[in-house]
Amino acid sequence: MSFNFFNWIREGVRHSVLLGVSDAVGTLGSPREGDDVQQRLMSFLQDSGSAGQAPRLGTAAPRKKLGRTLDEIQAGAAKAA
């Protein structure tokens, strides 16, 4: 018997997703005839996109370094040698 760890994880995720979709359909129900959900969703997304500007990512303060860089490690090793 061959046990493939990644296949086991893949099947577990697949099973969980299918159960989640099944629960969502059970809770929300299926769409009614004549209900144009796709059109309403597209209009909502277009309205929310034009409502405001997205924040710029580059305006924040620079990130702090959590450790030493490779150059600092190599310089420290060269001094020790």
Average pLDDT (1-14) is 88
Q: Could you say which DSSP state residue 42 is in?
A: H
The single residue listed with the structure tokens 């009614």 is 32
Write the pLDDT tens digit of every residue in 18-56: 999 888 888 877 777 777 777 877 887 887 665 555 656
Above 90 in pLDDT, residue 16?
yes
Rounded Cα distance between 53 and 51, Å, is 7
More confident residue, 17 or 28: 17
Q: Of residues 21 and 2, which shows the higher confidence score?
A: 21
Which DSSP category does 78 fall into? H
Instruction: Give 76's contacts (C-beta < 8 A, 6+ positions apart).
Output: 68
Per residue in 54-69, pLDDT tens?
A: 656 666 677 777 888 8
